[in-house]
Amino acid sequence: MEDYSFTDYFLKEKKSKSAFKLFAKFMYALLIFYAILLTVSFFFHKEYRYITIQGPSMQPTLNPDPIYVDGVEHQDGVYIKLNNSEEDLADIDYGDIVIVDRSEEKGEEGYTVIKRVIGFEGDKLSIVKLPVGENGEYEMRVLRIKEGTGVIECLEEDYVKSYEEWGQYTVLYDEIEYDDMFFYHIMFANQTEIYPYYIDGQRFDVHFFTIGSDKMPSEPDQIFIMGDNRINSQDSRETGTSDVDKIVGKVVRIVHNSYSLRNSLFGWLENIYDFLSIIWEEIVNLFR
């Protein structure tokens, strides 16, 4: 009986030590996991930031349908890649949505706007009402000549909120209708050049504004930005072009709070998904 008791005790001790070792390994692995997570999170927040959208200027792309939780309005949000280097700035392209610092203009610390990049320094732009579609209905369009190309592009902006509403506010000049804000604040205030644009054989002599021509050569390069909600957006048509070095960052992910989990008990799952997917996209881009 004594031998049996000793053996039983030994086996129990062995199982207890094995369980402790397993638990210790688990805790060690958990600590390593958290250390990695904290490190990645630290570098993530140096490169990215989550911003909640305020105002309707980027509808319908952003904040088309805010929701209410306990009486509080929750609008759409975006993750932006912060502009920390010349490489980040060079990565910004036509059509990107960017956050621009306008603190100096507004006299308000931390004042930013979110808009879409339409053109860069040296590009020529015009905003005119043109016949479009098979029936020749007239709608507002952005015409752009990229620097060094000489080719007029008519931008098909499927993100714009209501072309019909946008086309209500125009100024007739030299037999062509221009966006009223663009005409009064950009065309009327600066020198323009005329280029012919043809639609089905019909010629339109359009006035174009050159981005950066309204600034001194010593000033930073300029960008022309506009909100997608063209009838309710204070942008470059009214405030003029913006210094490219005022770009805080560009949008890399949109979070539509109207149908996301972010404002529920499972919001943390949404945060983890966004966090990991952005990191994964960054890794993929490194190997492209």
- pLDDT tens digits for range 45-91: 678 888 888 888 999 899 867 777 667 667 788 999 998 778 778 88
Report yes or no on 279 lying in a domain: no
Q: Residue 240 and residue 211: Cα distance in Å, rounded?
A: 9
Model pLDDT, residue 45: 67
Model pLDDT, residue 39: 66
Beta bridge pairs of residue 125: 144, 209
The range of the structural domain enclosing residue 243 comes to: 53-254
Residues 6+ away with beta carbon under 8 Å from 113:
57, 99, 100, 102, 225, 234, 235
Report yes or no on 22 lying in a domain: yes
Identify whether residues 79 and 190 lie together within a single domain.
yes
Q: Which residues of the chain have pLDDT under 70?
A: 1-17, 19-20, 36-45, 64, 69-70, 72-73, 258-269, 271, 286, 288
Number of domains in the chain: 2
Residue 143 DSSP SS3: strand
Identify whether residues 57 and 176 lie together within a single domain.
yes
Identify whether residues 15 and 119 lie together within a single domain.
no
E-only strand ranges, the chain: 48-52, 67-69, 72-74, 77-82, 97-101, 112-120, 124-132, 137-145, 152-154, 170-173, 176-179, 193-199, 202-210, 222-226, 242-243, 247-255
Cis peptide before 60 (omega within 30 of 0): yes
Q: Are 98 and 249 in contact (CB under 8 A)?
A: yes
Of 287, 279, 288, the closest CA to residue 81 belongs to 279
Report yes or no on 218 lying in a domain: yes
Identify whether residues 28 and 105 lie together within a single domain.
no
Report yes or no on 238 lying in a domain: yes
Model pLDDT, residue 1: 47
Report yes or no on 235 lying in a domain: yes
Identify whether residues 16 and 136 lie together within a single domain.
no
Identify whether residues 31 and 157 lie together within a single domain.
no
Q: Residue 263 and residue 61: Cα distance in Å, rounded?
A: 19
Identify whether residues 177 and 246 lie together within a single domain.
yes
Identify whether residues 64 and 180 lie together within a single domain.
yes
Identify whether residues 130 and 18 lie together within a single domain.
no
Identify whether residues 183 and 60 lie together within a single domain.
yes
Report yes or no on 286 lying in a domain: no
Sheet containing strand 77-82, edge to edge, reads 48-52, 77-82, 247-255, 97-101, 112-120, 222-226, 242-243
Query: Token pair for residue 148?
Result: 């060094």
Q: Are 122 and 277 in contact (CB under 8 A)?
A: no
Q: The whole model's pTM is what?
A: 0.79
Report yes or no on 242 lying in a domain: yes
Identify whether residues 157 and 75 lie together within a single domain.
yes
Chain segment 193-206, per-residue pLDDT in tens:
999 999 988 999 99
Identify whether residues 249 and 222 lie together within a single domain.
yes
